[in-house]
């Protein structure tokens, strides 16, 4: 294919301009792919952290649920449900007197059926100190950040004062780490029976927390739960709608901004080919006189642009994936010391990679087609009239 060899000769002749075009495209691909991979990872990490000690579907009505054991059994029979946890959510005062003085703070109180929570939420896997004993009614689980800030030890005594002004002493039984800072510093988990005494004084719950095998199927399962139990239910997406909308908007704006780098790289290719067309007017005229058609001339410059684009995209994709693999599998101290992370989360799908590659090829094609068309439409006499 003679057009390819002519395009190759042009690329080699103009090494500096070709190298600048390739570098521009490479940088554009790297910035876009790495930013999407890290943004996806951070979004997924935040959602996973939020869902780590909370439910995917909350089943609750305006009052108390008295027959919660029967409702729990009904829910757990639904396909896709991992488990259901009868619970009570409230707020109260947390008091601790330790070696460094007293500590008093408002906390979110979650009263869980701990046996169900171990199965449904894998709560035992989130315990970093101590243990869970469902039979111990005076045990309390507190977040790692709260535990560290008050300087407590396992077995220390703390006091919980409810909104009903009831006061109970508990012993620190375990320390959990959800991965979500607000939970680890502001939330405590109590046995369900203890919170029932604090709030109602009877065997009822305010809600049933449902966890699913796949959190992203929450909507249809939520509808099925409502149909079977007759109790209103909300998904984790409903409860975190504002946060999810903010994350989506942030990601969209970021992609739009970083896509400008790819557009600029395409502009560099356009400038390179445009300059080449100007320099090769005489050669274009000679080729036309030798019998080259307009299509042949167009192919020469189009192939040149696509080769430059293909090389840049290949290098950019390779470097991006290597970089994402490195930061996913290695701790970066300057990041982990600032943010509530052990490693930088990375999440990018094959579809996203293919869309990025396809979009870049499209931009390069559009950038190449106009100079190539300009070269092709030159007539033989017009190209040679000044020679």
Band of residue 188 on the pLDDT scale cut at 50, 70, 90: very high
How many CA atoms lie less than 13 Å away from 136 in the CB half-sphere?
15
Residue 298's pLDDT is what? Answer: 74
Q: Is the pLDDT of residue 35 over 80?
A: yes
Residue 280's pLDDT is what? Answer: 64
Distance CA 211, CA 195 (A): 21
Q: Is the pLDDT of residue 314 over 90?
A: yes
- Mean pLDDT across the stretch 252-277? 81
Top mean pLDDT of 206-215, 247-256, 377-386 is at 206-215
Band of residue 274 on the pLDDT scale cut at 50, 70, 90: confident
Residue 294's pLDDT is what? Answer: 67
Q: What percent of the chain clears pLDDT 90, i.e. is strictly above it?
A: 14
Residue 189's pLDDT is what? Answer: 92
Distance CA 185, CA 144 (A): 7
Mean residue pLDDT of the chain comes to: 83
Distance CA 139, CA 127 (A): 14
Q: 328-380, pLDDT tens digit by residue?
A: 887 666 555 545 666 788 888 899 899 989 988 898 888 888 777 777 666 65
Q: 73-121, pLDDT tens digit by residue?
A: 889 889 988 889 999 988 999 999 877 678 888 999 999 988 888 888 8
How many CA atoms lie less than 13 Å away from 347 in the CB half-sphere?
11
Q: 129-178, pLDDT tens digit by residue?
A: 988 888 888 899 999 889 988 888 898 899 998 877 888 899 999 999 88
- Kindly report whether the global pTM for this prediction surpasses the value 0.75: no
Residue 327's pLDDT is what? Answer: 84
> Are 375 and 311 spatial neighbours (Cβ–Cβ below 8 Å)?
no
> Are 52 and 228 spatial neighbours (Cβ–Cβ below 8 Å)?
no
Q: 5-16, pLDDT tens digit by residue?
A: 666 666 677 778
Band of residue 317 on the pLDDT scale cut at 50, 70, 90: very high
Band of residue 181 on the pLDDT scale cut at 50, 70, 90: confident
Residue 256's pLDDT is what? Answer: 85
Indicate the DSSP class of residue 135: T
Residue 286's pLDDT is what? Answer: 65
The two tokens of residue 225 are 């739960």
Cα–Cα distances (Å) from 299 to 24, 170, 283, 375, in that order, read 23, 79, 15, 10
> Are 210 and 56 spatial neighbours (Cβ–Cβ below 8 Å)?
yes
Band of residue 230 on the pLDDT scale cut at 50, 70, 90: confident
* Of 273 and 235, the one with more pLDDT: 235
- Closest to 204 (Cα-Cα) out of 214, 212, 193: 193
Band of residue 319 on the pLDDT scale cut at 50, 70, 90: very high
Strands (E), the chain: 57-59, 81-98, 101-112, 127-130, 139-143, 157-162, 167-176, 187-191, 207-212, 233-235
């Amino acid at each position: 294919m003679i057009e390819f060899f002519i395009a190759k000769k042009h690329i080699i002749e103009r090494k500096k301009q070709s190298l600048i075009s390739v570098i521009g495209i490479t940088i554009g691909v790297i910035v876009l792919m790495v930013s999407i991979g890290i943004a996806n990872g951070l979004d997924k990490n935040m959602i996973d952290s939020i869902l780590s000690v909370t439910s995917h579907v909350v089943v609750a009505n305006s009052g108390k649920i008295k027959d919660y054991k029967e409702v729990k059994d009904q829910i757990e029979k639904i396909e896709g449900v991992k488990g259901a946890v009868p619970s009570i959510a409230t707020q109260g005062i947390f008091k601790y007197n330790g070696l460094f003085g007293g500590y008093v703070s408002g906390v979110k109180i979650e009263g869980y059926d701990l046996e169900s929570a171990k199965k449904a939420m894998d709560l035992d896997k989130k315990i970093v100190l101590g243990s869970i004993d469902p039979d111990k009614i005076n045990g309390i689980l507190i977040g790692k950040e709260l535990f560290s800030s008050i300087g407590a030890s396992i077995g220390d005594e703390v006091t919980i004062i409810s909104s009903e002004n009831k006061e109970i002493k508990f012993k620190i039984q375990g320390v959990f780490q959800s991965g979500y800072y607000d939970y680890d510093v502001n939330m405590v988990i109590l046995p369900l029976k203890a919170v029932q005494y604090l709030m109602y004084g009877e065997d009822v719950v305010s809600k049933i927390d449902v966890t699913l095998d796949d959190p992203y199927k929450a909507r249809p399962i939520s509808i099925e739960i409502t149909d079977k139990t007759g109790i209103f239910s909300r998904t984790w997406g409903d409860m975190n709608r504002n946060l999810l909308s903010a994350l989506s908007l942030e990601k969209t704006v970021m992609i739009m901004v970083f896509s400008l780098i790819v557009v600029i790289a395409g502009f560099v290719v356009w400038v390179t080919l445009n300059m080449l067309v100007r320099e090769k007017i005489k050669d274009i005229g000679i080729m036309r006189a030798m019998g080259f058609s307009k299509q042949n001339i167009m192919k020469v410059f189009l192939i040149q642009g696509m080769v430059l684009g293909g090389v840049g995209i290949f290098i950019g994709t390779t470097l991006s994936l290597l970089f994402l693999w490195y930061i996913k599998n290695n701790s970066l101290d300057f990041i982990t010391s600032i943010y509530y992370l052990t490693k930088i989360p990375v999440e990018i799908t094959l579809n996203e990679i293919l869309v990025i590659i396809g979009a870049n090829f499209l931009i390069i094609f559009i950038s190449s087609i106009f100079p190539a068309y300009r070269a092709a439409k030159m007539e033989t006499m017009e190209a040679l009239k000044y020679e």
